[in-house]
Amino acid sequence: MKNVKKSHIPFRLNFLYLLIFVLFVALISRLGVLQLANTDKYTSKINALSVIEVSESTPRGNIYDANQKPLAINHTSPAITFTRGVNTSAATLLALANKLNQYIDMPIDEQLTDRDLRDFWLADKNNLKSMQKQLTKKERELSNSEQYKRMVALVPADQLNFDDNQKKIITIFKRLNSAQSLSTVYVKNEGVTDQELAVVAEHASELPGISTGNDWDREVVAQGSLKSLIGKVSTEKQGLPAEEVDSYLAKGYARNDRVGTSFIEKSYEDYLQGKKAKYEITVDGKGNVTSKQEKAVGAKGQNIVLSINADFQAKVDEILQRNYQALVDSGMAAYSPGIYAVAMDPNTGGILAMSGYYHEILSNEIEENAIGTYINAFVPGSVVKAGTLTAGWQAGVINGNQTLLDEPIYIQGTAAKTSIFNRTGGANMYLTAEKALEVSSNSYMMKVALKLMGLEYQRNISLPLIKNQASAYEALRKAFAAYGMGVKTGLDLPNEGTGVQPAVDQLSEKDNDGGKILDLSFGQFDTYTTMQLAQYVATIANGGNRVAPHVVSAIYDNSEDGQLGKKVKEISTNVLNKVDISAENLAIIQKGFYDAVHGSSAYTTATALRYAKMNLSAKTGTAETTVTDNGKVIDVVNLNVVVYGPSDDAKVCLAVMIPQLKDSAGHPNLTIAKEIMDAYADIYQVGQ
């Protein structure tokens, strides 16, 4: 039998070859699937890891006065920016700063700190290693941040003597290092030359993350108190306010975005903030930014137009400043903390002017304080008496133009409470509600308050316990609130004050507070802001509608050149409530206010206004209070007035408050009110 020659290749080796062949076929098939069937899918995944979308802020919208005069604008300028990559090291930033310093002339940051110098020195890898070697064994066990903090402290002081060129590099390094991962900062945004822009663009491949662009700077061109009302915008360095950072981040803001931080800039941030430009940045395997491409053009923020007329505002400023300075210089306002005035359109709620000044007690220097018109509150005096009548009508304790006897009010255990004309034994008189407003009767209002407690006045009457007066307090304050006193007015500016209205349970029987409700009835207890009094008189002037005051009248888009474009939103009149009294009773209040100016009684209170350029209606208020000077109690008065005109078709209303003047100051409240209303008549061409 012939022998068969066997293969020299063992079976196991053949099996291995077969297995390898099968694996190669599987691998080639898989590569084919990846390259042919799933190319788009995996390409997008790779791009998602290397291409990231970021956004950059754009200029804010402008702010204009009622006549579309610019008040806050932007100035744009070329800039050099840096977008930080992922996990970019300090050593990488140091190398970039050295390179960029060759192409731009960087002004030295005058605010370089010792820490800035130490951070720069440690950015050098060799310096960092030398400091790491100096750490103790225990210090090396600390967290990275704690180790670095210790190394910062170990940097020798003699290593921090840098020359001017090095300080320029340090300034660049500081700006670069301020950027968070995948965020953009301005490296140089002032005085950037065309040559610098060209050179940086030419060497872009050597400068990862560096780009050219534009920056903007906010300028408030408004003058006087209007400038402070505009408010402020944070810088890029300040970024988002710490206390509001979470809410801003939730809206898509970046931490270094510039936002309005006060007043109008803050209140209308949502409109003024521009629409961000969107960019795609590409990072390499080391996390460095290799390219940056614009994907969506940003847009300047919307513009806002105020209801405030800058010319009228300036005139009101001048009137208040001049008159208050005279009061301060004469000593009449030695203890006065300020003077405030608000003029508004009673029909729309649009603020036409709001101005204020203050001075430190016993100082002759006065300073602007327009925001005090809606933050600072004082005892108002008799201006509030329409609110007391309203409470009486609403509770049904008085009817229409009811007549009551004005006489001194004697409450058991207390001194007499009187009107000004029978304080020293003058004649008592019967007064209608209308006449009570004209001559500013305190007695009439106190009798209304007594009726609210279920009492008819008798000499030496006893008042119920304070806790039993609660319903009367509630009735008065509810009526006052219907006009805007003691409550938020709805003003479109932040941090509005509401004054002080002590709760009944805060009053004390042993301190004889039982008569405070009588004081409340003629404006000698609770405190209100000037803005609240302006809303109060506006409600009377317009027929009983409490309208929310606002400083912005409309929102506008931008024209092609970035200026005022098409109106996109008008701030409509916001009626908060209607005062719950009859038209006949409201007419009594209006007639009482008219007679306070035009009446013929010897006690008519606002006759100084009858010679104004408009036909006016008004209510004065004098609140008696005290101040203490070196332990000595001094009697002072708050002189206030509310006015509207023309009386038969009100276009403007005004509230003026001058707290804590000496009693001999006269009636500067009326002088100032007349001057302001005359200025309105001149500017808006409204006459009798």
Average pLDDT over residues 296-325: 94
pLDDT tens for 444-490 read 999 999 999 999 999 999 999 899 999 999 999 999 999 999 999 99
Question: Two tokens at 435?
Answer: 């006449």
Q: Does 47 have pLDDT greater than 70?
A: no
In the numeric block, the tokens 């662009």 are attached to 213
Residue 396: count of CB within 10 angstroms of its CB: 8
**pLDDT beyond 50 at 256:** yes
- Torsions phi, psi for 356 (to 5 deg): -160, 155
Q: What is the pLDDT of residue 48?
A: 45
Instruction: Enumerate residues 6+ apart whose C-beta is below 8 A from 500.
Output: 377, 526, 527
Q: Is 465 helix (H, G, I), strand (E, B) or coil?
A: coil
pTM for the predicted model, two decimal places: 0.84
Pick from 82-91, 144-153, 496-505: least confident: 82-91
Report residue 276's pLDDT band, with 50, 70 and 90 as the boundaries: confident
State how far the Cα of 178 lies from the Cα of 171, in Å rounded to an integer: 11
> What beta strand segments (E) does 286-395 contain?
289-296, 303-306, 338-344, 351-359, 366-368, 377-378
In the chain, pLDDT over 90 holds for what percent of residues? 70
Helix ranges (H only) for 348-453 are 372-375, 385-395, 433-439, 442-452
pLDDT at 84 over 90: no
Per-residue tokens: 679: 């200025």
Q: Which domains does the chain have, with CATH numbers?
A: 310-544+579-610+635-655+665-684 (3.40.710.10)
Residue from 626, 388, 395, 639 nearest 520 by CA:
388
274-288, 513-527, 591-605: least confidently modelled range: 274-288
* pLDDT for position 8: 55
d(CA 116, CA 106): 16
Stronger pLDDT, 137 or 325, i.e. the higher one: 325
User: Which residues are known catalytic residues?
Assistant: 382
pLDDT digits (tens, 9 = 90+) for 543-577: 999 999 999 999 999 988 878 999 999 999 999 99
Contact assessment for residue 672 and residue 319, using Cβ atoms and an 8 Å cutoff: yes
The predicted structure's pLDDT at residue 31: 67
Q: What is the mean pLDDT of the chain?
A: 90
